[in-house]
Structure 1
Amino acid sequence: MLDLFGDEDTLALAESHRTLPGRFGAGTRDRAGVLSALSALSQQAGGAEFGIVLGSGFEGAPDLIAEIGARHRLLGAAPETVAALNDPFRLAALCARLAIPHPAITAGPVADRDAWLVKRIGGCGGSHIRASATGSTPPGHYLQARMPGRAFALNFLSDGRRIEPLALTEQWQAPSPLRPFRYAGALARGRDEAEPIPPAIEARIAEAALRLARETGLTGLASADCLVEGERWWLLEINPRPGATLDVLDRRPTPLLLQHIEASLGRMPAIEASPTDATGAEICYAARTCPAMPPLDWPDHVHDRPRVGSPVARDAPLCTVTASGPEAVTVKEELRSRTAQVRTLLEETENSHEFQHERPEPQRPGGTAGREPRR
């Protein structure tokens, strides 16, 4: 396992782990560090390496993906697929040719600044999105027209020829003064609950995802992020890799990672029936700066647990909470409740006389800015 965090639950599950320096969401990756760490993990596996599954953070680095693919077997979207789908101008051109509704984009400048958003090319997690204050774009960014509607994502598996929809997840934001479009969480409804958008719209989104998958050769687990307003909808982007909704989607008998690998190898797996209950996951952002994480008695529904002694900055992600239940509305309420409980648990533990801040524990690489949304 190779990531920026080395969280407690990651270390407990991974046979081996390497931590990279840097900050998630920064848009760049330490090329030499990534390649050397992957080589070290491969050597440690003693030639038993099966392949590499890339998560978030590589969207803006197709050249690095190509280098990784030249040294290891990639289990997921090919470099050229990522390049085609994550270049906003190439994606817009594809959508225009395939008659897929997509917000207008431009490099700017624009006169009506309030009608546009500034996005970073290859950005993820929503933290990179800003209002178009000046009507122009800094290097590596573009402008996208503001559209109405609620945010949804169609999550699916693709073998490059077919797709198998897994779930339609509704998504929401946790705005902060500096990050007004920051990703907060996602929820998939239970098997017998009515979907929150018209079936005809969901079918059109699935058809659009299929056309784009065939056009680009997309394989593995992916998602189509959309805005839906009544009978209208717009495709915002395709995420060609496993993302933050993995906590929500991985609820069938067969592990979703195995199905991702099968689809990546061109063999579409059989998909079991949808789960009965609704399930959601929400990022718990830190209410204030924690210079050093105390030892917490984490509940089982908390994931991405920062290591003892690592710093977490105010408004940075502290952890992820999950919840399941028969109805989406009660799951959302439970997520809010559990998020508040985590913050209370942290505050009470910090105030306890049993915790000594001077304990010599390893700190998370990248300093207090190291924890960013992992979508």
Structure 2
Amino acid sequence: MADTALIVKYDDFGFDAEHLLQTLHTLENKSSDNLASQLSQFAGFVYGSGFEAQPELLQKVAALIPVIGNSSATLAAVKDLSVFFAVMQKLNIKHPETFEQLPADVDASLYVRKFSGGCGGVHIKPAASAPHHWLERYYFQRKLEGLPVSLLFVANGTEVDVVGFNEQWVSASADMPFRYGGAVSHAALSVIVQEQLLDAAKHLTAKFDLLGLNSLDAIVHKTSAGAEQVYVLEVNPRLSATVDLYNNDGVLFERHVQACLCRQLVGAGQLQDVYEEVSKAHAIVYADVDVMLNTEMIWPDWVTDTPVQLKTPLNIVAGAPVCSVLAYADSADAAKKEVLARVQQIKNLLQSTH
């Protein structure tokens, strides 16, 4: 959908603030008539990940161009662990036991350490391997066995529309055991699980005034009695990776814009198309070892996010993402199986080039 793509520096904390603002000012100064900035041509600024650890940067962006999405205040509140988990406690939304500082008398092997502004799972480490003293923006959470799921929804500050329920998985490595691996749409979740996810999304939307596309991550845990209980892990108050699983010629994007600018939830019926009942899966291929991509690399047509127009060979270090792969099937299980097989196909292809 993009007319132009610009690359902005990025690190473990998200966007390089100075470089992002410089890039926006560059657009502003490219005005052809000098009467109005080029930024004024745009309806606004839509964002995905990269701001969670620095909501103040989003506030600076909002001073230049209207933000179409959650405000910096909402982003800051949802990603402030002392605020977010206190709200969930008050709303009686189940979540794993969470501490700002791990008590000395607990078994550290039962917990993980998370960065409250992190995304993609690369920031999650075993608590036993992390220092136990208090660290700003980090918290400790009890590990929970179960199925990782998410709910992608559109919100207008008071109400929500379901876009889809998804299953997620990790692509673990020795130093990143919870790294994001991929997801699949139309996950076969029971009605009771769907209701728990939707109920949590509704309550959190009303409390935090969530707008536009958001996702709620959770674990479905089976109790000793066999009941399915949803434990909410976090809300991503912005466009998430799973938006890709439901993209439909810009209709979903338009629903985001309308919910943010007009606080209207436009009809979900517009999303119906040939993929309505088809599950889509995506998965990230990470390099197991250092990889050198040559300029003549030929990718299958189900591969995306590839380095393009390579003039010289490109070195990708072990652990870094190489590309993404896609798969469609009549069920979530079949799509997941196919996409994971394609991950292995790409790894075999990379190995054969060396």
Distance 1:287 1:114, change over 3 A: closer
- Percentage of matched positions with identical amino acids: 28
**1:58-109 per-position Cα deviation (integer Å, ceiling 9, x unaligned):** 1111111111112111011111110111111111011011111122221223
Instruction: Tell me the distance in 2 between the aligned counterparts of 1:163 and 1:234.
Output: 19
Match of 1:329 in 2: 333
Amino acid of the structure 2 residue aligned with 1:196? A
Match of 2:213 in 1: 221
Scaled by the length of structure 2, what TM-score is found? Answer: 0.87
Structure with higher RCO (Cα < 8 A, 6+ apart): 1
Match of 2:149, SS state, is: strand
Match of 1:288, SS state, is: coil
Q: How does 1:105-120 map to 2 (within 5 A)?
A: 105-110=98-103, 111=105, 112-120=107-115
Decide whether the 8 Å contact of 1:296 with 1:346 is kept in 2.
no
Instruction: Tell me the distance in 1 between the aligned counterparts of 2:259 and 2:315.
Output: 38
1:268 to 239, 246, 265: 265
Q: CA deviation at 1:253?
A: 5.8
Match of 2:306 in 1: 305
1:70 to 63, 66, 69: 63
1:22 to 4, 7, 10: 10
Match of 1:259 in 2: 255
Match of 2:47, SS state, is: coil
Match of 2:280, SS state, is: strand
Decide whether the 8 Å contact of 1:54 with 1:76 is kept in 2.
yes
Q: How does 1:131-150 map to 2 (within 5 A)?
A: 131-133=126-128, 134-150=131-147
Amino acid of the structure 2 residue aligned with 1:279? K
Cα RMSD (Å) of the superposition? 1.9
Decide whether the 8 Å contact of 1:226 with 1:234 is kept in 2.
yes
5+ residue gaps, structure 1, are 1-12, 190-194, 352-375
Larger mean Cα displacement after TM superposition, 339-348 or 281-290: 339-348
Match of 2:184, SS state, is: strand
1:39 to 25, 41, 45: 25
Distance 1:156 1:316, change over 3 A: same
Match of 2:225 in 1: none
Match of 1:354 in 2: none
Match of 1:212 in 2: 204
Decide whether the 8 Å contact of 1:137 with 1:143 is kept in 2.
no
Residue 172 (str. 1) matches residue 169 (str. 2): yes
Match of 2:286 in 1: 285
Distance 1:296 1:303, change over 3 A: same
Residue 343 (str. 1) matches residue 331 (str. 2): no
Match of 1:192 in 2: none
Match of 2:10, SS state, is: coil
Instruction: Tell me the distance in 1 between the aligned counterparts of 2:324 and 2:145.
Output: 28
Match of 2:122, SS state, is: coil
1:314 to 293, 298, 318: 318
Match of 2:76 in 1: 83
5+ residue gaps, structure 2, are 32-37, 223-227
Match of 1:54, SS state, is: coil
